[in-house]
Structure 1
Amino acid sequence: TNRVLCGHREDVSRLLDVCRQSIVFDNVKDLTACLIQIYEDPEATIVRIKNRLDPSYNSYASAGYRDVALNLRICNRRSSHMALDTHVCEVQLLLKQVAEIKNEDGHKRYIQFRNARGQ
């Protein structure tokens, strides 16, 4: 993809969102409770957090998109047995209002925006 060629200097090991899932919440309180549960889970190792809900976050960088994106590994007996314990996946914690406007056309526009910025 364009991100591998431009943003990651052709290093696919730097892609952290090949496996991605979203969890949608009605409010920030529930989103925060989920974040704490994941953080406290001994089988989950958080590699990176992007807090796009932080008021100081420059939403221009994400074309106005807001979420909390976690890159994490699941480390347990089963993931080790399947050689997946080093695999990094992404979990997007979204507020319902954002999820409702997130659609295929919106994502296509975001990809165009990101590519135009050379990311």
Structure 2
Amino acid sequence: MTKTVAIVDDDASVRVATQNLVRSLGLAARSFASAEDFLASVRASPIDCVITDVQMDGLGGVELATALRSRGYDIPVIFITAFPDERVRARAMGAGGIGFLAKPFDSQQLIGFIELALQS
């Protein structure tokens, strides 16, 4: 069965580029423009990993990870952000993140985090 990665980012160009990268790995990819859109559809099909922007309109990535956990979903989360600082990183990792990358991120680093997420 093909693993599915969700990409949650309010920047369409990041969503498309990340989706293309995920698909190049032989994985299925679903993209969402907001955390709210993702949360509304998470029951519809299994998601094996989430890649999310930290700062978005409405719910941000850290709040998304917290909402997933509170709803009983134990999905690995990789955080990406254009504003990397240690406080943001600490919040993201404290919310259960398995990776934290600054935009523009290195594709190989993201692939490494995806592989780590899908091992579990």
TM superposition score normalised by structure 2: 0.32
Which structure is richer in relative contact order (CA contacts within 8 A, separation 6 or more)?
1
> Which structure has the greater CA radius of gyration?
1
TM superposition score normalised by structure 1: 0.32
